[in-house]
Amino acid sequence: MVAAWRAMPDEREAQGGLRKYDEVSPITASREEIEQAVQDADLPALLAALAMITADETLIADDLRPPTPPMGASIKGQGGMSDEAQAKARSLAVRAIVAYRDRGSPSPEVPDAAWLNRIMRFMTKDAGDDYLPLLSSELGLPRDMGAPDWRKEDLAPGRDFSVAVIGAGLSGVAAAHRLSQSGVSFTVFERSEDVGGVWWANRYPGCRLDTPNFAYSLSFAQRQDWPQQFSRQSEIQSYIAEVTRLAHLRPHIRFGVEVTGLTWDEAAAVWRLSIREADGSRSERRFNAVISAVGQLSQPSIPEIEGLDGFKGRWFHSAQWPADIDVKGKRVAVIGAGASAYQIVPSIVDEVDALRVFQRNPPWMLPTPTYHDDIKPGMAWLLRHIPYYGRWFRFWQFWIAAEGRLPSVQVEKDWKHPVSVGRANERLRQECMAHLEAQLTDRPDLLEKLTPNYPPGAKRMLRDNGVWTAALKRPHAQLITEPLARIEGDAIVTADGERHEVDVIVFATGFLASDYLHPMKVIGREGRDLHEWWAGDCRAYLGVVIPGFPNLFMSCGPNTGVVVNGSAIFSAECAVKYATSAIGEMLAKGYSAIDCRMEPFEAFNRRVDAENLTKSWGVATVSSWYRNAAGRASQTWPFSLLEYWRVTQSADMGDFVLTKAG
């Protein structure tokens, strides 16, 4: 193995076992084999990786620069490079790889920031200087910028200080790793028996990513051998488990233990955690600070339907798919047509006897022909052998989606169209419609039912490789748009009085996203009950901190969901960075409590609310988890990724009411 980290011993130490992700195997392949592999390469990322290890400027010459056209409904291959540029890139890449092989595949040095910036500018064309620090942070080179730049033993060696992390999904693992790097004592509470969060819970057939996988990974644990660009649930789950093991986090996690409540103790300046232990007994633990990493989409939402309790068959939520259920030969109803239903329906259609899909609103689908494809063999070979190629490929996926489709959801004031909200939104609508129409030329009835009457981006857009319409076209499948009325014995009865007899009902009906932190009871300063105070409208400052609830930090909190650009991992890592920075300040300055002031909280929420109204999800009235019962977009981040990154890099103590430790 070639250990990619040859420089920077401190960095190596801090990364611990996670260095594994940067190891590649020495090259012994023939020139012909290398040429073959390069045919499958993602070229912009390959040129960048080779430029990095060879310092050869010809690999990042202007005529090879990917034009990266603005993102439409689908992503252009090779960043839109011309055929000539691609041919030249392949030939230069083969030459560079052969030369690297002939030098014995040495471990490269990590180059200086100036050379890395050159390469990043080549990849990104017009990313301004302001963007480069964010991109460098995502690349994780020349150093891991998300790591705290302080150690507890240096700031407050004698101070007794501990942090509770609630949840061991991706954001909980990120928080735990950063706390571990800082040397602060911490305990993670996870109600399930293993790490993974939503990826542990959601085991329904067909569960997989719908965000490109390399970008959907932690910046400090950049796995290089993803088998697909949109991997399956089991792969993501294994990754989270592996990161936890490699970063030595497991001993800090208490599995099967649920935090049921948090109460702020003013006199002691600690949070008292009410805990349900794995054996059902109750206990209490005290922590100076809490990072909630419970996620946005973890509490299943099941509609109240008359007669459900008397249903004669089995019913369950998509996120609680029973291990012992066999749908083979059964008549199955799937209620909902969102992201989960979209994956379940094509996966079970061949097994079931009859399939009835109950849809209220059809989803918008982005053409993604490669959605289920494996990483091509040549690409996989390159990822195994070219140092940092995986990092640059992740970087590239991150960059092309960075502000991604944000312009395509922009509301234009004078735009008059019954569905779309602006020119770019209309272009996106037409592209998606053309893709849908092409699949349904033989089924005008289905086309009518599957045509959304709300603007693209107003709710989660799905990835389409044709499997959804193919499943719905099957003779034993039926798409029902009539509203549900009740359940009678073994049948779902729709508003038109029709009885649909079924053996199994799958509720793919989403999550209680706006009941953030539910069902924990959270009592802050002066006995303030958080959920009463929110009154169904969760808000926070930067999505992380809430006035009256000192020393409590949230990741994936209110208004942090990046829904057409980036991924939830990005915002989770930003929130964790903010939380660890605030904890560092508490230790450095001797604060026992830091409590967000009302003024920045209110100003932030006013700004976010105003900007959300300029996006399709802010003005459309279609139901979605982006908005709460009052119609406010309480989950979405409407600005750029760059802005969220900037505001979360360090906590400004001017935004807090500060209490000194006595």
Pairing of β 253-255 and β 185-190: parallel
Comparison of 336 and 584: residue with beta carbon closer to ligand NAP: 336
> Rounded to the nearest whole angstrom, what is the least distance from the CB of residue 485 to ligand NAP in the complex?
11
Comparison of 249 and 339: residue with beta carbon closer to ligand NAP: 339
Tell me the CA end-to-end span of the chain in Å, nearest whole number.
Answer: 53
Q: Which residue is nearest to ligand NAP (CB)?
A: 338
DSSP SS3 for 542: coil
Q: Give the Å distances, CA to CA, from 95 to 27, 246, 460, 573.
A: 13, 35, 43, 38
Comparison of 52 and 554: residue with beta carbon closer to ligand NAP: 554
Comparison of 288 and 571: residue with beta carbon closer to ligand NAP: 571
Q: Which two tokens stand for residue 344?
A: 């379940």
> Rounded to the nearest whole angstrom, what is the least distance from the CB of residue 321 to ligand NAP in the complex?
12
> Rounded to the nearest whole angstrom, what is the least distance from the CB of residue 92 to ligand NAP in the complex?
36
> Rounded to the nearest whole angstrom, what is the least distance from the CB of residue 490 to ligand NAP in the complex?
19
Q: Which two tokens stand for residue 47?
A: 């040129």
> Rounded to the nearest whole angstrom, what is the least distance from the CB of residue 626 to ligand NAP in the complex?
9
Distance CA 525, CA 438 (A): 58
Comparison of 56 and 210: residue with beta carbon closer to ligand NAP: 210
> Rounded to the nearest whole angstrom, what is the least distance from the CB of residue 337 to ligand NAP in the complex?
4
Site residues (CB under 6 A) for ligand NAP?
A: 208-211, 297, 303, 318, 335-341, 343, 358, 360-361, 460, 484, 508-511, 623, 625
CA atoms within 13 A on the CB side of 653: 17
> Rounded to the nearest whole angstrom, what is the least distance from the CB of residue 357 to ligand NAP in the complex?
10
Distance CA 477, CA 475 (A): 6
**Is 48 in contact with 395 (CB distance < 8 Å)?**
yes
Burial (Cβ within 10 Å: 0-12, 13-18, ≥19) of residue 315: middle
Comparison of 337 and 576: residue with beta carbon closer to ligand NAP: 337
DSSP SS3 for 390: helix
> Order of strands, edge to edge, in the sheet holding 521-523?
282-287, 270-276, 258-265, 521-523
**CB-CB neighbours of 252 under 10 Å:** 17
**Is 107 in contact with 183 (CB distance < 8 Å)?**
no
Number of H helices and number of E strands within the chain?
A: 21, 21
Comparison of 2 and 492: residue with beta carbon closer to ligand NAP: 492
Comparison of 180 and 567: residue with beta carbon closer to ligand NAP: 567
Residues near 251 by beta carbon (within 8 Å), at least 6 away in sequence: none
> Rounded to the nearest whole angstrom, what is the least distance from the CB of residue 163 to ligand NAP in the complex?
28
